[in-house]
Amino acid sequence: MKKDSVGIVKTKYLEFFSPPHELKLESGEKLGPVHLAYETYGTLNRTKTNAVLVLHALSGDAHAAGYHRSTDKKPGWWDIMIGPGKAFDTHKYYVICSNVMGGCKGSTGPSSINPITKRTYGLSFPIITIKDMVKAQKALMDHLGIKKILTLVGGSMGGMQVLQWTVSYPDMCHSAIPIATAPYLSAQSIAFDEVGRQAIISDPYFKGGNYYKSRKKPSRGLAIARMIGHITYLSEKSMHSKFGRNLQDKAKYSYRFLTDFQVESYLHHQGDSFVKRFDANSYLYISKAMDYFDISQGFSSMNETFARVKAKYLVVSFSSDWLFPPAQSKRIVNALRQNLKFVSYVDVPSSYGHDAFLLESETLTRLIKKFLATVSKEIL
């Protein structure tokens, strides 16, 4: 195991909002009890002022760094950024990452058991939003005794949670790093999400969401949804440089509906591997939460929304990201500047597309280390 790894880690679980104190959701429904799966790396200092909250994207989970077992082939999903000497140096910071409510990796979601019916929720699970996810995370921070978070960071849907945190709980957020994100989804992004959901719902084994006891699951529908999503994560340039029109193990076309091209094989692999670790219903709920997200909801304008924030911001976008293009990050930056808030903005030249927030580790590490060195002086 590498010296800059946090090593073997263990996922922890907490229960909140037990009846009659259920969590009131944005939809008006109530949910409880709520379980959250989370992991921590590093040590919380005496004054509890060195906490970093990492928020994950749609398909992420609480396992952001390290290994669960010494035999694991892969570390956590953001291991390149979390650990000794890395951007989020665990010798300095106490890093926390929880699986979002609605997920399928230990937190309460549609695959959880409904305490009333003693059966899996399925589609009886209530619709949840980004704001609801953040409410549950707030309960986790309260449990840990953290009243001020040094910084909140996340890419894609994780960035949406960062924005919501700074608006919902401005006094708790010292600084914020939203990466490759947006104040709301575009119509195009919502359209891609809906096609993915319809692929799942149309799968003959979906069974109205009640497939958990069935031998066959809606794997094909979920795989297709992942394939559609993965296309949006890459740029045209990165797809061309990776695959071009190269054939897959063939010297010529098959002239049949087989996997002729390398890019086809790649997408099939992404879809097939995804169904082994993710739940189809969770995909429906989390993608819907992203569609509903609009940080200005309840405010008259974006400027009014960000007037209430107190966090210092580092906003990062990537030049080739067409799913969450730089123009969307600039809307956030402009609203912060209109309110005379502290904000740094960097549009990183990259050919990786939306996936750059998982791949451009050297650039992100440099930017984040510099930013944290500045903002941490005021609180540590």
Which of the residue ranges 63-67, 251-255, 354-358 would you say has the lowest mean pLDDT?
251-255
Residues 120 and 230 occupy one common structural domain: no
Q: What's the distance, CA 65 to chain centroid? A: 14
**Candidates 203, 235, 354, 355; catalytic one:** 354
Residue 250: predicted pLDDT: 79
| One-letter amino acid for residue 320 of the chain | S
What's the rounded mean pLDDT across residues 120-139? 98
Residue 35 forms part of a structural domain: yes
Q: How high is the pLDDT of residue 98?
A: 98
* Residues 342 and 369 occupy one common structural domain: yes
CATH of the domain at 334: 3.40.50.1820
pLDDT at residue 313 greater than cutoff 80: yes
> pLDDT digit string (tens) for 72-128?
999 999 999 999 999 999 999 999 999 999 999 999 999 999 999 999 999 999 999
Residue 7 in any domain: the answer is: no
How far is the C-alpha of 375 from the C-alpha of 364, rounded, in Å?
A: 16
Position 106 scores a pLDDT of: 98
> So what's the pLDDT on residue 315?
98
Q: What is the mean pLDDT of residues 349-376?
A: 97
**Is there a single domain that holds both residue 60 and residue 180?**
yes
Residue whose pair of structure tokens reads 């921070």 in the numeric block: 141
Distance CA 79, CA 359 (A): 11
Query: Do 281 and 303 have their domain in common?
Result: no
Quickly state the pLDDT bin for 251 (edges 50, 70, 90).
confident
pLDDT band at 59 (very low <50, low <70, confident <90, very high): very high
Q: Which of 255, 287, 319 is the last residue of a domain?
A: 287
Q: What are phi and psi of 184, to 5 degrees?
A: -165, 160
4 belongs to a structural domain: no
**Could you tell me the pLDDT band of residue 354, with boundaries at 50, 70 and 90?**
very high
CATH classification at residue 221: 1.10.1740.110
Find the mean pLDDT for residues 206-221.
Answer: 97
Written as six digits, the tokens of 16 are 């909140």
Is the pLDDT score of 199 beyond 90? Answer: yes
Catalytic residue among 321, 329, 355, 376, which? 321
Is the domain of 33 the same as that of 178?
yes
What's the gap between Cα 227 and its chain centre? 18
The confidence band for 297, taking pLDDT boundaries of 50, 70 and 90, is very high
Q: Examine residue 224 and state whether it is found in any structural domain, yes or no.
A: yes
Reduced to 3 states, what is the DSSP secondary structure of residue 265?
helix
Q: Pick from 242, 268, 287: which residue ends a domain? A: 287
Q: Is residue 1 part of a domain?
A: no
Q: Answer whether residue 328 shows pLDDT above 80.
A: yes
224 and 198 co-located in one domain: yes
In a domain, 248, yes or no: yes
Same domain, 238 and 114: no
Run of H or E residues at 55: strand 51-55
The CA distances from residue 171 to 41, 312, 315, in Å, are 24, 12, 19
Average model confidence (pLDDT) for the chain?
A: 97
Distance CA 267, CA 271 (A): 6
Stretch among 2-11, 86-95, 107-116, 129-138 having the lowest mean pLDDT: 2-11
Q: List the catalytic residue out of 59, 107, 156, 238.
A: 156
Last residue of a domain, one of 287, 307, 329: 287
Distance CA 213, CA 13 (A): 24
361 part of the active site: no
**In the chain, % of residues over pLDDT 90:** 97
Q: With 90 as the cut, is the pLDDT of residue 333 above it? A: yes
Summary count for the chain: helices (H), strands (E): 11, 10
Say whether both 240 and 213 belong to one domain.
Answer: yes
Q: What is the pLDDT of residue 324?
A: 98
Q: Is 156 a catalytic residue?
A: yes
First to last CA, the chain: 30
Are 304 and 276 in a shared domain?
Answer: no
Q: What pLDDT, on a 0 to 100 scale, did the predictor assign at position 320?
A: 97
pLDDT in tens, 151-192: 999 999 999 999 999 999 999 999 999 999 999 999 999 999
Q: Over 80: is that where the pLDDT of 41 sits?
A: yes
Q: Is residue 249 part of a domain?
A: yes
Domain count, the chain: 2
Residues 200-222: what's their mean pLDDT?
Answer: 97
Domain region containing 270: 190-287
Peptide bond just before 33 cis, omega within 30 deg? yes
In a shared domain, residues 176 and 85: yes
**Whole-angstrom distance, CA of residue 112 vs CA of residue 278:** 13
How confident is the model over 212-239, as a mean pLDDT?
A: 96
**67: in domain:** yes
Whether the pTM exceeds 0.95: the reply is yes
When pLDDT is cut at 50, 70 and 90, the band that residue 148 belongs to is very high
Do 51 and 115 lie in one domain? The reply is yes
Q: In the prediction, which pLDDT does 380 show?
A: 76
Residues 198 and 265 in one domain: yes
